[in-house]
Structure 1
Amino acid sequence: MSEDWRENYAYAVGLQAVIYGYPAVKNLNMRFGMVEKPVGATDTPLSQWFHLRRPADATDTTHGSVSNDFLYSVGWFDVRKEPLVISVPDSGKRYLGVQFMEWYSDIFAYLGTRATGGAAGSYLLVSADWQGETPPGIAGVIRAPTPTGAIIQRVGFLGDRTNLKPVHTMQDASDMRPLSKWLTRDASPSTDRQVLDPADRADPMAFFVNLNRAMTENPPPAKDRPILSLMRSVGLGPGQSDDLSKLDAGTRKGLERALRDGLKLIAQVSVSGGETKFVNRWAYNQTSWGRTGESDDFLTRAATQSFSGFLEHQIEEVVKLRAHFDANGELLDGSTGRYVLHFNRDQIPEAKAFWSVTVYNTNYDLHPNPLNRFSFGSHDKGLKFDKNGGVTFYLQADAPTRQFQSNWLPIPKAPFNLFLRAYLPGEALIRQSYVPPAVSKVD
């Protein structure tokens, strides 16, 4: 405790502000890095699909646990001026999921295989207060809780990750454009790249500057007024100035301390799994994922929903289990030995679409390896099952002996973690009664 009450108070409130506002700040930086000054694979104007034409790999350093089980399409929407029309093709037997995220990382709508039966259709995305008429040819209206946000489309493979042509065909049949262009069949590309700029990272208050900017653009829901009132008392939140140099010295010092400790807390919760069910050292995703803001679980929203991911799914679409630890409770670390993950026949995850296991480094990115194999699962023809119907993954940095190379899933010679995903999961996964095998260290 400081002798300055202002510093102590700002620290206490600042911790809550970091937890509450982390997703808003992360999304501000991610959007800027994809739209105005692209730094990764995604380079797109607002309100338009950007189709990634290859599966994700180790060059994609978004720190968001990106999957390489799909081809992604990304769009950042802004419905302040007018609605957008999102059109999807018929998906047939191929998995298609279109996921809508409001600014604070909750999911508010889906289209695709599960949500709309895989049928083709055009849907109108509107602001929360839109009062216009729905034009003919629109299959449904989706209201966005915040005026800006992100949309992710995932198109799955059917046993061959190298045959990208049919996936590209589905991407090309997808469309996102302003309503005015859709009505006039204007297919000209968007040129709008005007988004909020992040503050200079050298500024120790940059996080809070970005917080004020993002929350002013995307006001939180009315139910969150109590925490917003607290934040406002130290100059933070929607409608507050982004010039924090005018705050008194004690308040600034308290906020700087809160930022350091708050980010450490979020990272700690992410690694530990937070308040979730653990089975054989695997952490189930929280059943409220994609709805954590709605249920006022702001710590989970900041940590496992946002810090270690991006656009986390609701459990009806996918169930995820994450492992940071082996069967003995030790952190997974490829520099200390090899591991095996064996599924008995009755442990094979039930998924109507597919299931897979993916390896991530401590930044929640894919890591480079000689096979360019980052995940392996039921939709891969090369995965070999044993004579009893089970399957074993060999998790090691160096190549195993020849007889085990077919199911080799390379890991870094460093700490790592695993994601077990089940798309369109069975009831046992949704109810969290499914028991996965532990990750066993072999030397």
Structure 2
Amino acid sequence: MLNKARFLLILLITYAHGYAQITNKNELEAYKSAYNAYLWGFPMVTLGLSIEEFVQNPERAKFNNFAIIQSSSKQKTTSNEDIVYSKAYLDLKDTPLLITLPVNSLKYYSLTFTDAFSGIFEVFSSLKNISKEKAILIVGPDWKGEIPKGVKKVIKSPTNLAWVEGKVSILDKLEMAESKKLLESIKISEVGKKDNAKTWTDRHSFPKLKTSGSPTEQALIMDWKSYFSYISQILKENPLPDYQKKYAMDFEDLGIFPGKDFEDAKVNNKKQKGIKQGFTDAIELLKTEAPRQEDYNKNGWTYNVSEGKWGNKYTKNAASAYNGFSQTASEEIMKYKTTLDNNKEKLLGAQKYKLTLKKAQLPQTKAFWTINVLQVDKQIYENAKGKYGIGSKSKGLKFNKDGSLTIYLQVEPPKGLETNWVPLPTENFELVFKVYTPGEMVYSGEWAPPAIENVK
């Protein structure tokens, strides 16, 4: 069932509430512009804040270098469905980047490339590397040059600023060392960079903030001048896609001009009440709706079918950024989440549950599927058993006589069925079901996992 009607109702109510607070015509126009600019710019602002946090952390890599991140070391403010992954911010203004790939790896990996406006523009995975490429080249929107010898795959980023996440699937502790080694083998090198080329930090001047917390938390309490300044810094070197150019023209009265620094002098003092109210209402909408950003709800599982490719759905983009950019391209990984059982009660580790996939219900996939458990802090449940989930490639799965598969979810393993068991924390939890390289029935949104059955 689509949740769009509910979302549009909330949007209309929030918008109408703000309008009711303002009667001056100039302030009303400023309110509308600020409201829309806040949602449109939220991914840019949180990206800028994320970069500032990332490059200032001595434990993390600099631009154009991968950092390996584990869930236990990650700030626990956003959902993290991967116990270990890699991340790199890419500066493509003055140099293309060569990414070397794992050689002869039998383990699945994927590289998801996202532009400055939080749109996924490429997913490269081991399953797509049919020709066994040893390296790929990623270039900026204006790049013109020679492709290095031996490189066949060239990825063009629509923006000079981009970021990439490397992901693997880990279901138990025994896979950890191998997975980290695989991620560490993926390297980035700059091709033909000039010695006098300025770094990202040298070319940009973000306002100094007196706040602390995650990028999302800081963006939510930022004053409007700092907020618009962050947007302007991101826009300086990153061309807007055609479908956004006309939309962005509405924000010139707020001092936002693509390609230029923020011009606060352009903002009339009489408009500031409208701007502040627009900010307040946009923040309220995000806080209310971002946790419910999935469009579909079936059998208690929520999911999207076009994740990471929202286009001009700016509130969807903002919601994704609010949730920590935990998006994946649906054609590569179809993702389902639930916190409810078949009685629509909250999942609780003190209970026992099971999930039965009938033979005809097993998801269509060209690769595999997995189920992981997230704790209340939205992190993978790391437990003493060293078992983080289960999947179609798990060893020793026991199928029922009719070809169906039953997964047992409880704190302690059921006797004789340990291979079909997923450990649970004692408190509330969330389940994440992922289908890698899904088939048409899954990718279209028609298929969803069956409901989680509470075993009374």
Q: TM-score, normalised by structure 2?
A: 0.78
Residue 317 of structure 1: CA displacement?
Answer: 1.0
| Match of residue 228, structure 1, among 243, 248, 261 | 248
| Match of residue 374, structure 2, among 352, 355, 360 | 360
Partner of 1:236, secondary structure, is: coil
Q: TM-score, normalised by structure 1?
A: 0.81
| Match of residue 140, structure 2, among 121, 124, 127 | 127
| Match of residue 67, structure 1, among 73, 81, 86 | 81
Within 2, Cα distance between the matches of 1:369 and 1:375? Answer: 10
Partner of 2:156, secondary structure, is: strand
- Identity among equivalent positions (%) equals 25
Partner of 2:71, secondary structure, is: coil
Within 2, Cα distance between the matches of 1:262 and 1:309? Answer: 18
2:132 maps to amino acid: A
Give CA deviations for 1:114-157 in whole Å, capped at 9, x if unaligned.
Answer: 33327132222111111222232222322110101101122445
Which ranges of structure 2 fall in alignment gaps of 5 or more residues?
1-19, 212-220
Matched, 1:149 2:162: yes
Matched, 1:259 2:279: yes
Within 1, Cα distance between the matches of 2:388 and 2:270? Answer: 47
Pairs within 5 Å for 1:303-382: 303=319, 305-310=320-325, 312-329=327-344, 332=346, 334=348, 339-360=353-374, 364-366=378-380, 371=385, 373-381=387-395
Matched, 1:170 2:182: yes
Within 1, Cα distance between the matches of 2:316 and 2:296? Answer: 13
1:177 maps to amino acid: S
Given the superposition, is the C-alpha separation of residues 249 and 350 from structure 1 closer, same or farther in structure 2, using an over 3 Å criterion?
same
| Match of residue 299, structure 1, among 306, 309, 315 | 315
For residue 13 of structure 2, what is the aligned residue in structure 1?
none
Residue 7 of structure 1: CA displacement?
Answer: 3.4
Matched, 1:29 2:18: no
Given the superposition, is the C-alpha separation of residues 235 and 373 from structure 1 closer, same or farther in structure 2, using an over 3 Å criterion?
farther
Further displaced range: 127-136 or 162-171: 162-171
Given the superposition, is the C-alpha separation of residues 384 and 370 from structure 1 closer, same or farther in structure 2, using an over 3 Å criterion?
farther
Given the superposition, is the C-alpha separation of residues 226 and 163 from structure 1 closer, same or farther in structure 2, using an over 3 Å criterion?
closer
For residue 186 of structure 1, what is the aligned residue in structure 2?
none
Given the superposition, is the C-alpha separation of residues 306 and 279 from structure 1 closer, same or farther in structure 2, using an over 3 Å criterion?
same
For residue 192 of structure 2, what is the aligned residue in structure 1?
180
For residue 296 of structure 2, what is the aligned residue in structure 1?
277
Given the superposition, is the C-alpha separation of residues 432 and 80 from structure 1 closer, same or farther in structure 2, using an over 3 Å criterion?
same
1:353 maps to amino acid: A
Within 2, Cα distance between the matches of 1:258 and 1:340? Answer: 46
Within 2, Cα distance between the matches of 1:264 and 1:442? Answer: 39
Partner of 1:11, secondary structure, is: helix
The number of residues matched between the two structures is 420
2:442 maps to amino acid: L
- Whether the 8 Å CA contact 2:408–2:414 is kept in 1: the answer is no
- Whether the 8 Å CA contact 1:399–1:405 is kept in 2: the answer is no
Give CA deviations for 1:35-83 in whole Å, capped at 9, x if unaligned.
Answer: 2236xxx60110112234xxx43442364533336x4222111011111
Within 2, Cα distance between the matches of 1:28 and 1:412? Answer: 37
- Whether the 8 Å CA contact 1:60–1:366 is kept in 2: the answer is no
Structure with the largest fraction of helix = 2
Within 2, Cα distance between the matches of 1:162 and 1:412? Answer: 23
| Match of residue 114, structure 1, among 127, 148, 172 | 127
Given the superposition, is the C-alpha separation of residues 311 and 271 from structure 1 closer, same or farther in structure 2, using an over 3 Å criterion?
closer
Give CA deviations for 1:254-295 in whole Å, capped at 9, x if unaligned.
Answer: 333333332332343333344x33221222322x223212xx
Further displaced range: 240-249 or 101-110: 240-249
- Whether the 8 Å CA contact 1:86–1:177 is kept in 2: the answer is yes
Matched, 1:48 2:65: yes
Partner of 1:97, secondary structure, is: strand
Within 2, Cα distance between the matches of 1:423 and 1:30? Answer: 28
Which ranges of structure 1 fall in alignment gaps of 5 or more residues?
184-190
Further displaced range: 425-434 or 335-344: 335-344
Within 2, Cα distance between the matches of 1:126 and 1:278? Answer: 38
Given the superposition, is the C-alpha separation of residues 61 and 438 from structure 1 closer, same or farther in structure 2, using an over 3 Å criterion?
farther
Matched, 1:290 2:303: no
Within 1, Cα distance between the matches of 2:389 and 2:371? Answer: 5
Give CA deviations for 1:182-220 in whole Å, capped at 9, x if unaligned.
Answer: x9xxxxxxx986676465236433433322322334332
